[in-house]
Amino acid sequence: MALATFGAGCFWGVEYFFRQINGVINATSGYMGGDVSKIRYEEVKTGDTGHAEVVCVEYDDSIVSYDELLDVFWSNHNPTTLNQQGEDVGHQYRSVVFYHDELQRELAEKSKQELITNGKWGERKIVTEIVEKQEFIAAEDYHQNYIIKNDLPSCHISF
């Protein structure tokens, strides 16, 4: 099993999309990238902790590749809006790839460059951060699998 961590706005929709992928064993909503280790959603949503809402994806790399996970990441959010996805605004909603090893960093940088080169986003700058993983803190239980538990439509960002 391997791990990958992505931030692409509100973690509910990000988690939902990754759970749909064959080879994904688990997708856990949580927080990464902040200054303190013991945090709660109420603190993170203020934007003052430095954390991003993220999803830690546990996957079987013999079934699904990291490149395929990157494709899901890029396809389900707008990487050109700084600290914002749809109506969610703040540093906690930033576009970020937290890499777990050097190969993930290289693949993430390569995929970001390919997006720039292929011009999908036109003249808009891709603001996605690619940074080394930090401590992952799982979000509260009520956030896990939130869309399914609450029978909601996915909060996919349309662009």
Task: Give CA–CA dist 104/109, Å, rounded.
Answer: 8
Query: How many CB atoms lie under 10 A from the CB of residue 118?
Result: 8
Task: Give CA–CA dist 97/115, Å, rounded.
Answer: 14
Q: Is 155 a catalytic residue?
A: no
Per-residue DSSP letter, 70: H
Q: Which of the following is catalytic: 2, 4, 8, 10?
A: 10
- Which stretches of 63-139 are assigned E, i.e. beta strand? 84-85, 88-89, 95-99, 129-132, 137-138
CB 69 within 8 A of CB 86: no
- Which stretches of the chain are assigned E, i.e. beta strand? 2-8, 24-32, 52-59, 84-85, 88-89, 95-99, 129-132, 137-138
Catalytic residues: 10
